[in-house]
Amino acid sequence: MNLPILLKRPAAIQKRVLDGARYLAEHRMLLTGLLVILSLALVGPIGSMFVDVTLHRPLSGLFSAPPSSTLPLGTDTQGRNIFAVIVAGTSLTLRVALLAGSLGLAIGAVLGFVAGYVGGIVDTVIRTASDVLITIPVLLILVVFAVSIKGLLSVDTMAITIALMAWMGPARVIRSQVLTLREKAYVHVSKASGMNDFEVMWKELLPNMLPFLAASFVNAVIIAVLSSVGLQALGLGPTYAPTMGMTIYWALQHGAVLAGMWWWWLPPLTVIVILFIGLYLVATGLDKIANPRIGNTS
Amino acid sequence: MTLDYLIKRIGIFLLVVWAAASINFFIPKMAPGQDPILRALLEATQDGGVAGDAMLDIAKEYRVRYGLDKPLWQQYVVYLGAMATLDFGVSFVSFSPVREILLTRLPWTIGLLGTSILIGFIVGSTLGAIIGWPYSPRFLQGFIVPSFLFSAVPPYLMGLILVYLLAVTFTVLPFGGGYQAGVIPGWDLEFILSVLKHAALPAMALVVTDLGVRALVMRGSILSLFGEDYIKHAENRGLKGRRIFIWYGMRNALLPQLTWLALSLGSVAGGAIVVEAVFAYPGLGSALLVAIQGFDYPVIFGIVFLVILSIAVMTLILDLVYPLIDPRITYRKKS
């Protein structure tokens, strides 16, 4: 009985894949950005084939050695192998970014959906809270939090804390989208045909908001990287983790820039800059999809 | 501007300030096993001089003096009162009032941040408008690539690159501090020149990033204006291109730019704090770094509160000035 559907499926899937590929080809910025981020994600797995990752710890070798054939990026004044730091740390930095970004988006999406859909006093409370929090620099809240629990901050707690301060952007965008979509005819039709509120949100509103959700996600990730690196530059990150931000902090604390030890601070800086360029490319690419008007004029 | 809007806007402002104060109060209280007084004293015993048992008595004494033996809500009320009068207590490290420490630092931060935002806004908006204007020369439109790259580099990392290039490799500019050691602060030419020279690198770091962001936003709004009826009308009237660009294009695109400015003040200030810390610039940022390294809680919380308060005041002013600039905004209820 189900045969026709089963037969149809491979073709449908193939069409979908082709559509997706064509879509990406049309959006070069998005594609380039995704490739940039993907290549950063590969630094960890591929790099660990060439270097023993545990060498990122202090006292792993020579001190303050400049780059050479055996030490591609040299060592710092405490004897960390900078290449191993980059291999171990890039994944950690991406982990903070993705964890904080997706949690921030999840919180923001739920609050934005509820605010836009339920309305009334709930909406007022959520909107006011986001109005209030959005002008407060995330970094400062993080500073208060991090100094309060200093010593206990791990890579994951840092990500969760950032997420708690990164939901306002997504919540605003999603709330306004829900307000627009909820008056569309198909939503009224679904309601009239007996769907409950949750089903309407899940089956009707959510699929229509995917580009906006994706764009909010990238923005939350950008905030997460920006504030986590800032927090670490102030010395409040996970002290023993070889993240890019902590590496830059140690380099600064030991005067690496003035000592001319460029191999200490330049590699982590490059990783962060590449990450930002990738994220901005994705954000701009998604923006063109979410707001086609911008794309058409350029 | 209606009274309704005014009240609502000031209400938000008060909420922001209250939230900032409450965050400072409750987050440290929620943290597990952290008693700043006990910790400060523990460090004192490590330095020598106070025995363990006697120290607990001292801790109790301190707790009574700072009112920490009272119920939480009473502490909270007292704390809010202190914040309202900008009384941040006494530094754990230097034992001078935090307010005085911050007041000597604030002018440096305001000077650096204010100048950078102003330059970034003016140059960035102009650049963005030129990039976005379809009749601009092709090579000028190419500036979108550097703007994009600049906007992607956080200011404190841009600072590192600039220090390496301009202070280490080519020793053109000093790399840190607020003025040359040995120059006596005062309103004379030598001091002012020294201050400007030292501010150049951190300001450049802030301006370059800010400029990129502003240019991209401005480009977007100029592009969206193009094709509007009044621009076409102006063209059909035979007005000169430059006149259309400045008076019909830029003037209208600047308004959304101001909203962006208000919304981004927080992140710009956050970036500036790290830049100051990186450059050991004598503003609030480096004071924050030193306070963090020395567990100087009153100074940390004081700086956090003061910065949030300043941003809230600036955003409030921008929001209140906005309807005066743009007559289309009346903030009247539609219903």
DSSP A270-292: HHHHHHHHHHHHHHHHHHHHHSH
All residues at 6 or more sequence positions from B333 whose CB lies less than 8 Å from its CB, including other chains: B4
Q: Kindly state whether B42 is in contact with chain A, defined as any CB-CB distance less than 8 angstroms.
A: no
> Residue B220's closest chain A neighbor by CA?
A294
The mean predicted confidence, pLDDT, of chain A is 80
All residues at 6 or more sequence positions from A193 whose CB lies less than 8 Å from its CB, including other chains: none
Q: List, in sequence order, the alpha helices (H) in B163-296.
A: 189-225, 229-236, 241-243, 251-279, 284-293
Percent of chain A with pLDDT over 70: 90
Residue A296 confidence (pLDDT): 41
Q: Kindly state whether A31 is in contact with chain B, defined as any CB-CB distance less than 8 angstroms.
A: no
- Rounded to whole angstroms, the Cα distance separating B25 from B78 reads 11
Q: Does residue A1 surpass a pLDDT of 50?
A: no
DSSP string of chain A, one letter each residue = --HHHHHHHHHHHHHHHHHHHHHHHH-HHHHHHHHHHHHHHHHHHHHHHHS-GGGGSTTSS-SSPPP-SSSTT-B-TT--BHHHHHHHHHHHHHHHHHHHHHHHHHHHHHHHHHHHHH-HHHHHHHHHHHHHHHTS-HHHHHHHHHHHTTT---HHHHHHHHHHTS-HHHHHHHHHHHHHHHTSHHHHHHHHTT--HHHIIIIIIHHHTHHHHHHHHHHHHHHHHHHHHHHHHTT-S-TTS--HHHHHHHHHHTTTTTTT-HHHHHHHHHHHHHHHHHHHHHHHHHHHHHSHHHHHH-
| Residues from chain A contacting residue B23 (CB–CB below 8 Å) | 136, 141, 144
Q: Does residue A204 surpass a pLDDT of 50?
A: yes
| Residues from chain A contacting residue B218 (CB–CB below 8 Å) | none
CB atoms within 10 A of CB A159: 22
Residue B34 confidence (pLDDT): 54
Residues 191-250 of B with CB under 8 A from A: 220, 223-224, 226-227
- Nearest C-alpha of chain A: how many angstroms from B124? 18
Q: Are B261 and B217 in contact (CB under 8 A)?
A: no
- Rounded to whole angstroms, the Cα distance separating B175 from A11 reads 63
Q: Does residue A260 surpass a pLDDT of 70?
A: yes
Q: pLDDT tens digits for A36-89?
A: 999 998 888 888 887 777 777 776 677 777 777 777 777 777 778 888 888 888
Contact B295 A137 (CB under 8 A): no
Using CA atoms in the order A205, A211, A216, A219, what is the torsion angle rounded to 10 degrees?
180
Does the interface ipTM go beyond 0.90?
A: no
As a whole number, mean pLDDT of residues A107-132 equals 88
Q: Kindly state whether B2 is in contact with chain A, defined as any CB-CB distance less than 8 angstroms.
A: no
Q: Checking phi first, is residue B33 left (phi over 0); if not, alpha (psi -120 to 50) or beta? A: left
Angle between helices B3-30 and A120-134 (to 10 degrees): 70
Structure-model confidence comparison of residues A273 and B174, the more confident one: A273
CA gyration radius, chain B: 25
Residues 248-307 of B with CB under 8 A from A: 263, 265-267, 269-271, 273-274, 277-278, 288-289, 292-293, 295, 297, 300-301, 304, 307
Residue A295 confidence (pLDDT): 41
**Among positive and negative, which fits the CA dihedral A117, A120, A121, A126?**
positive
Contact A257 B28 (CB under 8 A): no
Indicate the pLDDT class of residue A111, thresholds 50, 70 and 90: very high
CA gyration radius, chain A: 23
- B123-B125-B130 Cα angle (round to 5): 95
Contact A233 B19 (CB under 8 A): no
Contact A297 B153 (CB under 8 A): no
Please choose, from the candidates A109, A112, A132, A131, the residue with its C-alpha nearest in 3D space to the C-alpha of residue A122.
A112
Please choose, from the candidates B291, B162, B289, the residue with its C-alpha nearest in 3D space to the C-alpha of residue A253.
B289
> Residue A236's closest chain B neighbor by CA?
B292
Q: Kindly state whether A274 is in contact with chain B, defined as any CB-CB distance less than 8 angstroms.
A: no
Q: Kindly state whether B23 is in contact with chain A, defined as any CB-CB distance less than 8 angstroms.
A: yes
Residues 85-144 of A with CB under 8 A from B: 128, 131-141, 143-144
Q: Kindly state whether B164 is in contact with chain A, defined as any CB-CB distance less than 8 angstroms.
A: yes
Residue B335 confidence (pLDDT): 42
Residue A107 confidence (pLDDT): 92
The segments of chain B whose pLDDT lies below 70 read 1, 31-55, 58, 62-63, 65-68, 181-184, 186, 326-335
As a whole number, mean pLDDT of residues A101-117 equals 89
> Residue A245's closest chain B neighbor by CA?
B157
Contact A131 B295 (CB under 8 A): no
The minimal CB distance from A297 to the residues B23, B163, B226 is found for B226
- Rounded to whole angstroms, the Cα distance separating A67 from A49 reads 19
Contact B19 A298 (CB under 8 A): no
The minimal CB distance from A257 to the residues B24, B163, B224 is found for B163
Interface test with A, best of B292, B293, B316 (most A CBs within 10 A): B292
Please choose, from the candidates B291, B129, B281, B282, the residue with its C-alpha nearest in 3D space to the C-alpha of residue B205.
B281
Contact B152 A252 (CB under 8 A): no
Q: Does residue A146 surpass a pLDDT of 60?
A: yes
Residue B45 confidence (pLDDT): 61
Residue B40 confidence (pLDDT): 64
Residue A294 confidence (pLDDT): 47
Place of tokens 């919180």: A107
- Rounded to whole angstroms, the Cα distance separating B128 from B245 reads 12
Which pair of tokens denotes residue A25? 């080809």
The minimal CB distance from B31 to the residues A140, A148, A277 is found for A148
> Residue B30's closest chain A neighbor by CA?
A148
| Residues from chain B contacting residue A141 (CB–CB below 8 Å) | 23, 27, 304
Please choose, from the candidates B289, B295, B304, B112, the residue with its C-alpha nearest in 3D space to the C-alpha of residue A233.
B289
Which pair of tokens denotes residue B185? 């602060």
| Residues from chain A contacting residue B30 (CB–CB below 8 Å) | 148
Contact B307 A140 (CB under 8 A): yes
Residues 219-258 of A with CB under 8 A from B: 223, 226-227, 229-230, 233-236, 248, 252, 257-258
Q: Does residue A198 surpass a pLDDT of 80?
A: no
- Nearest C-alpha of chain B: how many angstroms from A154? 15
Q: What is the pTM of this model?
A: 0.80
Size of interface A-B (CB pairs under 8 A): 144
Q: Kindly state whether A276 is in contact with chain B, defined as any CB-CB distance less than 8 angstroms.
A: yes
Residue B334 confidence (pLDDT): 47
Contact A137 B30 (CB under 8 A): no
